[in-house]
C-alpha cells in the first residue's frame, strides 16, 4: 500500500476519499503490470477509468468545499490544479477510446496518475491541513 498515514488531513471524508483513490490507482497499476494479454486487461482498466472519471470529480468537489468552509487562502490555485487534472483524465480517456484501447497510452497514464496522486496528496493537500491547524480549525493537530 502506497498510502501513508502521514498523508491524513484529519478530515474524515477527505481522508477516506484519498485512501480510496490510492487503492484504486494501485489496483489499476496492478492490472497494467499483470502478465495477462492486453485484451484480457481491457475490461478491468475500462472499469477503473470510468470510476476515476466519476470519483475524482466528486472528491475534488468535496475537498474544495472543505477548503472554502475554512476560508483556505490557496483555494483558487488549488482548484485550478484540480481542474487541470480532471481535464487531463478526460483527455486521456477520450484519446484512449479513439486509439482503440492503446496499451502505450494506458501505461503512460498509470504512471502519471500515481505520481500525480502522491505529489498532490503529500504536498499540495498537506498545505490545507497546515492552514487548518494553524487556525486551530479541525485538522489532526500536527
Ligand atoms: Fe487536492
15: number of CA atoms within 13 Å, CB side? Answer: 13
Cα of 87 vs centre of ligand 1, distance in Å, is 15
Segment 38-73, tens digit of pLDDT: 999 999 999 989 999 999 999 999 999 999 999 999
pLDDT at 139: 52
Using a 10 angstrom Cβ sphere, with 0-12 exposed, 13-18 middle and 19 or more buried, the burial of residue 21 is: buried
3-class DSSP state of 73: coil
Cα of 39 vs centre of ligand 1, distance in Å, is 34
CB 108 within 8 A of CB 29: no
139 DSSP assignment: S
Cα of 137 vs centre of ligand 1, distance in Å, is 18
Using a 10 angstrom Cβ sphere, with 0-12 exposed, 13-18 middle and 19 or more buried, the burial of residue 37 is: exposed
Cα of 125 vs centre of ligand 1, distance in Å, is 5
104 DSSP assignment: H
pLDDT at 137: 76
Q: Which CATH class for the 9-134 domain?
A: mainly alpha
Grid-cell match 474544495, residue found = 64
Cα of 35 vs centre of ligand 1, distance in Å, is 33
Cα of 9 vs centre of ligand 1, distance in Å, is 11
* Rounded percentage of the chain residues whose pLDDT exceeds 90: 90
Q: List the grid coordinates of 85.
A: 487534472
Nearest CA to 110 out of 19, 48, 37, 39 is that of: 48
Cα of 79 vs centre of ligand 1, distance in Å, is 8
> What is d(CA 51, CA 49) in angstroms, rounded to the nearest whole number?
5
Phi, then psi, of 73 in degrees rounded to 5:
-70, -20
Give this prediction's pTM.
Answer: 0.91
36 DSSP assignment: S
Amino acid at each position: 500500500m502506497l498510502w501513508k498515514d502521514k498523508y491524513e488531513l484529519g478530515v474524515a471524508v477527505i481522508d477516506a476519499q484519498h485512501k480510496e483513490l490510492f487503492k484504486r490507482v494501485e489496483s489499476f497499476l496492478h492490472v497494467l503490470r499483470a502478465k495477462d494479454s492486453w485484451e484480457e486487461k481491457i475490461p478491468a482498466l475500462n472499469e477503473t477509468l470510468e470510476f476515476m472519471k466519476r470519483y475524482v470529480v466528486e472528491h475534488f468537489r468535496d475537498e474544495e468545499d472543505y477548503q472554502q468552509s475554512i476560508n483556505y487562502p490557496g483555494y483558487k490555485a488549488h482548484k485550478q490544479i484540480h481542474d487541470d487534472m480532471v481535464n487531463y483524465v478526460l483527455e486521456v480517456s477520450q484519446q484512449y477510446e479513439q486509439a482503440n484501447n492503446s496499451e502505450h497510452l494506458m501505461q503512460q497514464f498509470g504512471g502519471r496518475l500515481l505520481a500525480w496522486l502522491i505529489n498532490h496528496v503529500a504536498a499540495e493537500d498537506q498545505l490545507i491541513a497546515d492552514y487548518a491547524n494553524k487556525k486551530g480549525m479541525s485538522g489532526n493537530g500536527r
